[in-house]
Amino acid sequence: MTDSYHSIIEPIIFTASRLETIAERCLFRPIGINISSVKIMGLLCRKKTMTPKEILELAGGTKSNISQRLNFLEKKGYIETHKNTFGDRRKLSVKLTPVGKAKLKEMQKHIHKVKLELESNFTKKEIEQHYAFFNKLNKLVSSEKDFSRCNLLSK
């Protein structure tokens, strides 16, 4: 390696942390929701109904966290849960309510506004380069099901 070599891992870690803070402060706090809730509501918008287990598998996190998120969303009136009437009655199905659908539309408008404000600071070429970089990074990370080897980071 030459002296001019710069690792991308440190800037990625620091930027991820800062982006999480910015997203919380600028995107989610103003609309009274967090990223986990947005993920769950987005899944329910696409899938119509799901079980908590399916949500956990697709959204990630822990059973406890998903349970807390579902309780929060249900208290807000964004989702409703129903016990199955056929088969295993212990299983729940979760679906988005009309209030939840309206909240998703509100979020989309807010996110679009923030996106336009943010993107106005970059050239079209810079935006395209960042999309390409982050798309490739996300593909690499999502293909790595088990990070115990961590060889992805040493390439």
pLDDT 10s digits, 46-99: 988 899 989 998 888 888 989 999 999 999 999 999 887 666 656 789 999 999
How much is the pLDDT for 153?
Answer: 47
Nearest partner of 106 among 41, 48, 47, judged by Cα: 41
Q: What is the mean pLDDT of residues 21-27?
A: 86
**Residue 118 within a domain:** yes
Q: Which residues contact 43 (CB under 8 A, 6 or more apart)?
A: 50, 55, 58, 59
Q: Which residues contact 53 (CB under 8 A, 6 or more apart)?
A: none
Judge whether 122 and 71 are in contact, CB under 8 Å. no
70-79 contacts: CB < 8 A, separation 24 or more?
Answer: 70/40, 70/94, 72/37, 73/37, 73/40, 73/41, 73/100, 76/103, 78/37, 78/41, 78/103, 79/40, 79/41, 79/44
Question: Rounded distance, CA 52 to CA 84, Å?
Answer: 12
Confidence grade of residue 4 (pLDDT, cut at 50, 70, 90): low
pLDDT 10s digits, 128-146: 998 999 898 888 877 655 5
Judge whether 71 and 65 are in contact, CB under 8 Å. no
CATH of the domain at 136: 1.10.10.10
**Residue 61 within a domain:** yes
**Residue 1 within a domain:** no
How many domains does the chain contain in total? Answer: 1
**Residue 43 within a domain:** yes
**Residue 83 within a domain:** yes
Q: How many residues does the chain have?
A: 155
How much is the pLDDT for 85?
Answer: 65
Q: pTM here?
A: 0.70
**Residue 13 within a domain:** yes
Q: What is the mean pLDDT of residues 140-155?
A: 56
Q: Which residues contact 64 (CB under 8 A, 6 or more apart)?
A: none
Residue whose structure tokens are 């208290």 = 75
| Side chain identity, residue 151 | N
Range of the domain at 82: 9-144
User: What is the three-class DSSP state of 50?
Assistant: strand
- On the question of pLDDT at 147 being above 60, the answer is no
Residue whose structure tokens are 């295993």 = 88
**Residue 54 within a domain:** yes
pLDDT 10s digits, 97-128: 999 999 999 988 998 888 888 889 999 999 99
How much is the pLDDT for 26?
Answer: 85
**Residue 130 within a domain:** yes
